[in-house]
Structure 1
């Protein structure tokens, strides 16, 4: 009986540790283009995601596209340092979306890179 309890404990501990380190994606920032600025008749969405893989490594990616869920669009890999510090703001204009990070860095993505179904 004791052996069965120990085996169950090992299995349960392994399951908990695996679940805790399972790959996951968390939304770190969201922004939407203003309704008054329809690039090609559509609204666009910017989303930065924090990804963690099975080994515990972190990475960040930004997606700009027509889908609020970021399932399709213009993908950019963001430096881990910038991603961890976070985005302070996103400013949408006819020619670009300008992202300002909390570190003071800025990233400009030309509208032509994310409009037209990219």
Structure 2
């Protein structure tokens, strides 16, 4: 009986760890159109990433760079009120990328911050 209780507690702990394990999810993706080229010659990508921590905390991050997996690049933390609402549109220009959130806010990221592998 004691062994069953210990095994049950251990199984519950493992299950909770798996359910709350840190994870991230790309909720919006945008790529620079072929008509917009940057001096580094790379195609660039933007993503809004929702991250969940082991403690259950949720955070939002905007990533702009040349890695299509969004594993590195110029990263900006985004307030949850903006991230949860999502991105309405992105406008890529040679000067940078303008992000319009559905909440009405706009953010401009200059190209010099995300080109050449930053």
TM-score by length of 1: 0.91
- Write out per-residue CA displacement over residues 53-110 of structure 1, whole angstroms, 9 at most, x where no aligned residue: 1111111111111110112211111112111111111111111211111111111111
Runs ≥4 residues deviating over 3 A: none
Gaps of 5+ in 2: none
Map Cα deviations across residues 25-64 of structure 1 (whole Å, 9 max, x no partner): 1111111000121212211000111111111111111111
Which residue of the partner structure matches residue 13 of structure 2? 14
Hey, what's the Cα distance between the residues in 1 that align with 2:102 and 2:38?
27
Superposed CA RMSD in Å reads 1.3
Gaps of 5+ in 1: none
Alignment: residue pair count: 117
> Which secondary structure state, in structure 1, belongs to the residue aligned with residue 76 of structure 2?
strand
For the residues of structure 2 that align with 1:77 and 1:68, how far apart are their CA atoms?
19
Look up the SS of the partner of 2:4 in the other structure. Answer: helix
Shift of 1:23: 0.9
Q: Which residue of 1 aligns with 2:98?
A: 98
Which residue in the other structure is 1:44 paired with? Answer: 44
1:35 maps to what in 2? 34
Match of 1:25 in 2: 24
1:116 deviates by 2.5
